[in-house]
Amino acid sequence: MKPILPGAMLGLLGGGQLGRMFTMVAHQMGYQVTVLDPDTDSPAGRVADQFICADYADKDALAQLSSQCSAITTEFENIAASALSTLAEQCIVRPDAHSVTIAQNRILEKRFLQSHGLTVAPFEVIEQAGCPDTIDDIFPGILKVSQFGYDGKGQRHVDNAAGLAAAFNDLGSVPCVLEQKLPLKCEVSVVLARSYDGSIVYFPVVENQHANGILDVSIVSARVSAGVAANARDMAGKIAQALAYQGVLCVEFFVLDDDRLVVNEIAPRPHNSGHFSIDACVTSQFEQQVRALCGMPLGDTVLHQSCVMVNLLGDIWQSAEPDWYQLLSEPSVKLHLYGKTEARPGRKMGHFTVLDATTEKALERALHLKQQLELSGHAAMQSSGTGY
């Protein structure tokens, strides 16, 4: 294909923090960006060259987007595949509707992975209140809505058939997947980029720690054996090839006690666990997204230094603005705030990345800074006479 050169207008479906970081990198590279998002105050919309405030299914808005953009991408997967198909009739769209359709539906995703010989957690599809005959082998498990669940939302832990019925009802009686809980050593992810010609580059394997279903800390490089890391990259690459994927893709894995890998889920976009690449790699995941979208050669993913990324949730804003001096006084700490105006508990407001000579040193410093921010917020609440 003929590459799309700087100066062109790129389109983006979604105006959150991932879109904001894509837009800022695209600007740095000389591109313009039009964002389509229904939120009048979206973080990406406020930094874009043009902003279309409309629903993702709005036909007039989609027509406007496709008419003024050379290529279009997404910042999250919960967009109707039909909208991507409509856009693809007029211009380049990456990732394509097929990839997004599979990634946004847990049932389709798991069946796709199984069909290509990849291991997933034992599961049952739950589409009605009654339990399948084979369900007893799954407990204890996690019931997850098949679509539109993220950051621990749309999930319930269940231990038996009675709990399953209650959880299914609580989740709105929509199609779900019941996954068996597995004994985990840790969780890792692989972020990769695949170009239109099939070439793939991989970022370092990341070790992820979660709190309340939300990514809390990402450790780079993951503290797993070289064999586990290589296997994770190989499996992620196999998924990208099977999808004929074009763009940035994240594959999340469970690492079991015996070092076997189980695919948890795939995300057809840049991922929270790849944010470290902004500060720690030659090429960030967002630059790779621009490059893949525009048919440019993919960038180098070499890691400058070991690092740890920590998510900043709205919880630490509940008393007052966090004490950013604690972070910014550290010369090798990089702070990223997403420009969101309302800090709600559990909402991703930003992140910081600590770089150091070793993973162990970076993790020690990151956890200390994280604790200091949380303690300062708690102290502020105590002094104001409020509580959680």
Task: Give me the mean pLDDT over the 75-80 stretch.
Answer: 90
CB 201 within 8 A of CB 274: no
pLDDT tens profile 186-218: 999 999 999 999 999 999 999 999 999 899 999
pLDDT at 381 over 60: no
CATH topology of domain 9-93: Rossmann fold (3.40.50)
Sequence-ordered strand ranges (E) for the chain: 9-13, 32-37, 50-53, 71-74, 92-93, 123-126, 141-145, 155-158, 176-180, 184-194, 200-202, 206-211, 214-220, 247-256, 261-267, 306-313, 333-337, 348-356
Lowest mean pLDDT among 28-32, 62-66, 153-157: 153-157
DSSP state of 120: B
With pLDDT > 70 as the criterion, what percentage of the chain qualifies? 95
Tokens read off for 25: 């990198």
pLDDT tens profile 108-154: 999 999 999 999 999 999 998 767 666 878 999 999 999 877 666 78
With pLDDT > 90 as the criterion, what percentage of the chain qualifies? 86
pLDDT confidence of residue 133? 64
Every domain of the chain with CATH number 3.30.1490.20 lies at 122-180
On the question of a cis peptide bond just before residue 345, with omega within 30 degrees of 0, the verdict is no
Every domain of the chain with CATH number 3.40.50.20 lies at 9-93
pLDDT confidence of residue 386? 42
Cβ burial, residue 165 (10 Å; 0-12/13-18/19+): middle
Is the overall model pTM greater than 0.75, yes or no? yes
pLDDT confidence of residue 378? 55
Every domain of the chain with CATH number 3.30.470.20 lies at 184-383
CATH number for the domain running over 184-383 = 3.30.470.20
Name the residue type at position 53.
C
Q: 224: which residues sit within 8 A by CB, 6+ positions away?
A: 186, 188, 205, 207, 232, 255, 259
Most confident of 156-160, 214-218, 318-322: 214-218
pLDDT confidence of residue 375? 83
CATH class for the domain made up of 122-180: alpha beta
